Amino acid sequence: MDVQAEVAEYFCQILREDHDVSAGIAAIRTLLYFLEKDNSKTLQELDNKLSKAIASMRQTDYPITAITSATELFRRFITLTSLLDNQSFDKCKESMLSRGQLFLNKLKEARDKVGKMAGPFIVDGCKILTHSKSRVVLQTMKEAAKANKRFTVYVTCSSPDESGRLMCKELDAANIPCTLILDSTMGYVMEQVDMVMVGAEGVVESGGIINKVGSYTMAMCAKELKKPFYVLTESFKFVRIYPLNQQNLPKEFKYSASKLQNDLSKEHPMVDYTPPSFITLLFTDLGILTPSAVSDELIKLYL
Amino acid sequence: MKADSSKEEVHPCFLRFVTDVKQGKYSGSSEITSKTLDLLKQLIADGEFSNAQGMMDTIRAHGRYLHKALPLHASVGNMARRVLKIVREEYAAGSKIIKNKSEEIDPQESLHKIITSVESGEDYSSHVPDLKSGVLEHISEFEMELETSIDNIAQQAQEHIHSNEIILTLGMSHVVESFLRKAAAHRKFDVIVVDCGPIGKGQQLAVSLAKSKINTTIIGDRAIVGIMSRVNKVIIGTHTVMANGGLRALRSCHAVALAAKHCSVPVFVLAPLYKLTPQYLCSYDQDGFNSYIAPDGVLDFSDHPTLSQIKRYCPVFDYVPPELITLFISNTGGHAPSYVYRLLSELYHPDDYEI
Amino acid sequence: MSRGKSNKDLESLKTEDVVQAVVVADNFSDAFVPMTNDVPSCLLPLVNTCLLDHTLEWLSNAGVQEVFLFCTRQVEKVREHVKNSKWSSEASPLLLNVIVSETCLTLGDAMRDLDAKALIRGDFILVMGDTVANVNLSPILEKHRRLQKTDKGLAMTVVYKYAGPSHPGRAPQDDILVAVDKKTSKILFHQKRVSSPDQKKVHIPMEIIMDLPSIDIYNDLVDTHVSVCSASVLPLFSDNFDFQTCEDFIKGLLMNEEILASSLAAYFLSDSEYAASVNSWPMYRNVTQNMIHRWTYPLVPDMLISDNEKPYQYLKGNVYKQHPVTLSRSSIIQDDCVIGGGSKVGEGSSITRSVVGRNCQIGNGVKIEDSFVWDGCIIEDKCSIIRTVVGCNCIVRQGASLSQGCILGQGVQCPAKFECSQRLQSSPGDEDFERIGDAAYIVKLDDDESDSEDGRAPQIWNELFSNENFDDEVDADSDVSSELSDASDRTMSPVLDDTNLFYNEVVDSLKRGFEDKLHCDNLVLEINSSRYAYNVSMREVNLLVVKAILNLPESDSYLTQLWQMLTYFMPILKNYIKNPVAQIDCLQALKEVAGAESEMLSGVVKFLKVLYDQDILSEELILKWHSDLKTDPESKDLCRVAAPFIKWLEEAEEESEEESE
């Protein structure tokens, strides 16, 4: 049992120490660390242990969507690698570790790539509305500011955790003019802005996104006022679920692990689901995708 | 790909071509497109290349030159992309034979590739015998496809136009013209042409259709909404199809599409595949998205008392968002706007999106 | 210096199919001093591309295959420029021949020289090297050839553009009146005129109207200085060495149609076509604006492709931004602006309706309005630059304020906190120009040289924005007043021998004309031709003609004779005295004559009264002239004599003011 506790601890430690790491990357790093320490003799055993490790990470209070998508991707990686190298288990594990590092590096590059894709869409003199805090959005904006573009940003403070304040602080530090607005001001601000740019915790098969609660509201507002709604996200956030509506979204996605035992009807959901019809484009490290291209991507992977 | 390759000498016939286009010696995008392909073919035939990389660099440099010199003719850049893709394919085919690699190289960046950690940076430096002849042959095939693309689209006319329908179209488009003519050979229907003057030349189309004994009515732009409720189908051509399935088309197209949406009239866009461009609308101020011509159609130069006080714009194009379009009809069949990304990834290599 | 002979395409064409154009790379005037001190006028930048490139780009787009570039001044610079441009490359669509003739002083000389060199084979297109146009030449050529079939003597098709009087797209000196035969588009009558309200009448000879069923008379045309010439044009210039300008040529041909057996045709551009020659500051400004407003499409900044140039981005509000421009957050770029690549704009600066060249450094809190800042300038903090031209590589130090037609020549360093509305240049020149800073001297235009091609002196300092009144009335008023004081402050240059000879000829002509009752129009022509013969500036002509008229009457019955002569010569006076500057000359002449001859004093009031009644002299100027006289001890008598009239004027003014209240 203490292996699992160790995994969870390692995972939390990464996220505590480095604020620039997203939960997905942290999960994969943790699993790679776990793989290194692991002493399983067979694939089956490894798989079982991995499941337990993943489960332990899901018990933490960090957003579960990203953990789910990243860990699922990792398991896929394990399976595919073992298929590629079907010799002895030891050799297989060796290549897993070396390829794993490559894999991780690629994921780390993802944010830069997204920034590059989305850069041209921030034009001189534009006004952008964003929701909550997203590292990808922040980095893209920083890049754009470096490229001498003049733009202003509206950030919702995004209750209940008020992560928008953090975003605003970071933008201020980067010398990008930004205004913190109340969540309820969304509709008021919408008419002045040129576009909405949000990050995502997860991208689902339909091409919709799971993101901080309020994103759906924002997307609806944007659609009503005919403003483009752009999503910036790394590809490891693609999850294999197909929510039909908000209720359909898995409970563990909506509520942090510690609150799952409580009476959920009294709890605030942390995320909501934005259907694809509200999304103009998704900027990912795989390229600029229309929502319909997302399912294509997922099918290619999990065929 | 690299910035310094732009310094390369540009082949003189490309310079001549640019001048010719500017002098208006070519009419219509299909002519310009096939001429571009001709030039690129000639470039490959004339050049000495040690490997595929060199060939691609040259093509890219020239493609970039044309793209810069003729920013409005997006199909010119598309041709360069297509030829690059052809070179890549031929190279892959050639090296497969040598190295006996059976592995399919999927150019598209994908999650799958990230996981399997395949190196995406392909190497085009090794020598492939008969690369040039292979590429030239392949280009010839493509040329054929290009030549027949308008006919191929016209072949589908009967599936889309039924008897006694009222079709609305706008401006002058060769594709639409041949499409309607083909349909008229079998069916009887009415056509309403939106004039879209002074740049649209709708009258030309109306005259030509009337000559082919099609019942044709011409209307002014302002009558679009009024007449839409009577229309069964809107069939238009376009200048470019953008990567998200939106259109860069003659101005008034957006109005037509909106009116059609309002009246629930389906909008069909006839677009040969060479019009597909891996370009997105970032903003209306974007480089080379729209073209603003001399504003004489808006206000006459001799209307002097107002000249200094009024701003005049005369844009050529409209952006039509994909949600207003029902179906694209290309030379390979009908496609939904949401499918355009797929076609794009089949037509071009993602590294070539940015020439 | 012919290039690109290997051009197979061109060689294979039949000689008569090759469209040839002659580009005259000089405007034969000093309109752009001090900018043209060391750069030829055709290399001045207009919207960050030099005029010659605009012209050549147009010609190549318009289907011209061979160009003869005729250089007279600063030939090396033109040659260097052409050598480095795309026009001399292998693939250039133009076969460009540079012809050098440094002795030419006028267009006529150039044409004669061209005739002597015998390079032109057939019909050719004649344009100035400062033309900005988008006209397709083939229909004009076609029409010219069609007309040639019916009229063997057709020498030239002149291209006109419609633009009503006081149209912002035309310069005041370009106002013309043209009568054209409706059927054959032959030009029957051509007159240069100034659109001042005092000239309401136009004389058109009866025979023009009598002979033809229908003629069109236009006063809403602008001469584009583009023309299609038959091969006979060059010999015509050679045979008539008094043809100095295109204007002379047209006039001469019309006057002596039978003798020269040549005729002219007119071609009118449609509204979608644009052509203009940038031969003065007002035209510079007009054409720049028209280009920014895209009348010149496809010759607009975002379409101009010279291969080593970065592209321009066209933004809303007609703002053109070349890559890479660094704009600070609080800077404002609005309305009809062009910003060249590599330029930086500091915090709180605003740029409105202006063109900024490449690699300019604009500091914080700078205000630039209606101005042209050329390449490589440094404008320091808190400067204000309004209606100004700043030449290449100028430095404007902190807090300087340049306004109202100020023109800084290349490399001027304008000192801090300096206020200026004059022309400055960086070197002292031959004469001792007033020194203002390390590299800043006030330019004085020499009258002898300022004889502009169009026959109207362009020396008004503030002419750059002189026809501003459409934009804002208040500023235009202040313009006028400052321009008047500038002009009248200037002393006339000493009368040279040539000028004396000219004066004698004028006196002879007038005397003969009065005795033989010759028509005044003919006298004007006579005076004009002697003017060219002796190379006298327009301002001197004004001065001397008035002097001559005043001196004509015999001293015994001076008053009566003066009265008769004034009435008789009124058309001549009206012809010459038609703008504020000429009025100043006229009054100066009066002062000089009255100072010398005592009889004249008695006629002063009469003279003033008649000219005032005829609207030749304006009240404002007379009053100013008189107040200047008061300070001059030598003209005490004159001042005294004129006083009653001045008093009357002032009273009349008060009355009218009262009435209006």
pLDDT band at B122 (very low <50, low <70, confident <90, very high): low
**Tens digit of each residue's pLDDT (9 = 90 or more) over B240-259:** 999 999 999 998 999 999 99
The reported pLDDT for the residue numbered C510 is 81
Among A274, A209, A202, smallest CA distance to A237 is for A202
How far apart (Å, rounded) are the C-alpha atoms in residues A8 and A26?
Answer: 11
Chains that touch A (3 or more CB pairs under 8 A): B, C
Give the closest-approach CA distance of A196 to chain B in angstroms.
13
The pLDDT-based confidence of C494 (bands split at 50, 70, 90) is very low
| Residues A138, A285 within the same domain | yes
Q: Mean pLDDT across chain C, nearest whole number?
A: 78
Q: Where are the alpha helices (DSSP H) in B156-212?
A: 157-160, 174-184, 202-211
The residue from A76, A96, A111 where one domain ends is A111
- Highest mean pLDDT among B12-21, B100-109, C289-298 belongs to C289-298
Model confidence at B140, in pLDDT bands (50, 70, 90)? very high
pLDDT of res. C7: 42
Tell whether A147 and A262 lie within a shared domain: yes
| C-beta atoms of C329 and A150 within 8 A | yes
What is the mean pLDDT of the segment spanning C222-227? Answer: 88
**Could you count the other beta carbons within 10 Å of the beta carbon of residue C473?**
9
Cβ–Cβ pairs < 8 A, chains A and B: 68
* pLDDT at res. A244: 93
C327 touches chain A (CB under 8 A): yes
Residues A180 and A243 in one domain: yes
Q: Does C14 touch chain A (CB under 8 A)?
A: no
Q: Which of B2-6, B131-135, C547-551, C645-649 has the lowest mean pLDDT?
A: B2-6
Whether residues A105 and A204 fall in one domain: no
Q: Is the pLDDT of residue C660 over 60?
A: no
**Are C91 and B302 a contacting pair at CB < 8 A?**
no
Domain stops at, among A88, A111, A134: A111
**Same domain (yes/no): A159, A276:** yes
Number of domains in chain A: 2
Amino acid identity of residue C204, one-letter, is I
- CA B155 to CA C46: how far, in whole Å? 52
Whole-number Å distance between alpha carbons of C112 and C168: 35
pLDDT at B307: 64
Q: Which of B240, B228, B229 lies closest to B269, judged by CA? A: B240
Token digits of residue C345: 């704009």
**Which residues have C-beta within 8 Å of that of residue C256, sequence separation ≥ 6?**
none
Q: Over pLDDT 90: what percentage of chain C?
A: 12
Q: What is the CATH number of the domain that holds A258?
A: 3.40.50.10470
The residue among A111, A126, A150 that closes a domain is A111
Q: Give the domain CATH number at A62.
A: 1.20.120.1070
Same domain for A241 and A273, yes or no, is yes
Q: Averaged over A150-164, what is the pLDDT?
A: 92
Min Cα separation A147/chain C (Å):
9
The most confident of B169-178, C176-185, C276-285, by mean pLDDT: B169-178
The percent helix, strand, coil of chain C (3-state, each to 5) is 40, 20, 40
pLDDT above 60 (res A101):
yes
Q: Do A118 and A94 belong together in one domain?
A: no
Tens of pLDDT, residues A184-194: 999 999 999 99
Residues A180 and A155 in one domain: yes
Based on the domain organization, do A128 and A253 belong to the same domain? yes
Q: Domains along chain C? A: 20-194+206-277 (3.90.550.10), 310-442 (2.160.10.10), 498-659 (1.25.40.180)
pLDDT at A36 over 80: yes
Torsion angle of alpha carbons C551, C454, C270, C178, nearest 10°?
30
Contacts of residue B138, defined as CB under 8 A and 6 or more positions apart, other chains included, come to: B86, B89, B90
Q: Which residue has the higher pLDDT, C604 or B232?
A: B232
**A87 Cβ under 8 Å from any chain C Cβ:** no
Find the range with the poorest average confidence among A267-276, B171-180, C607-616: C607-616
What pLDDT was estimated at residue C307? Answer: 65
Domain residues for A202?
A: 114-302
- Residue C468 pLDDT exceeds 50: no
In angstroms, the Cα distances linking C416 to A114, C69, C378, C537 are 49, 42, 12, 37
Taking phi first (over 0 means left), then psi (-120 to 50 degrees means alpha), and beta for anything else, what does residue C442 get? beta
**Do residues A52 and A126 share a domain?**
no
Contact C370, C386 (CB under 8 A): yes
Task: Tell me the shortest Cα–Cα distance from A148 to chain C, in angstroms.
Answer: 6
More confident residue, C299 or A276: A276
Q: Are residues A58 and A172 in the same domain?
A: no
Residues of C in contact with A150 (CB under 8 A): 327, 329
Partners of chain B (3+ Cβ pairs below 8 A): A, C
**Residue A157's pLDDT is what?**
92
Same domain, A122 and A60: no
Residue in C closest to A148 by C-alpha: C326
Give the tens place of pLDDT for each residue, B35-72.
Answer: 999 999 988 888 888 788 888 888 988 888 888 888 77
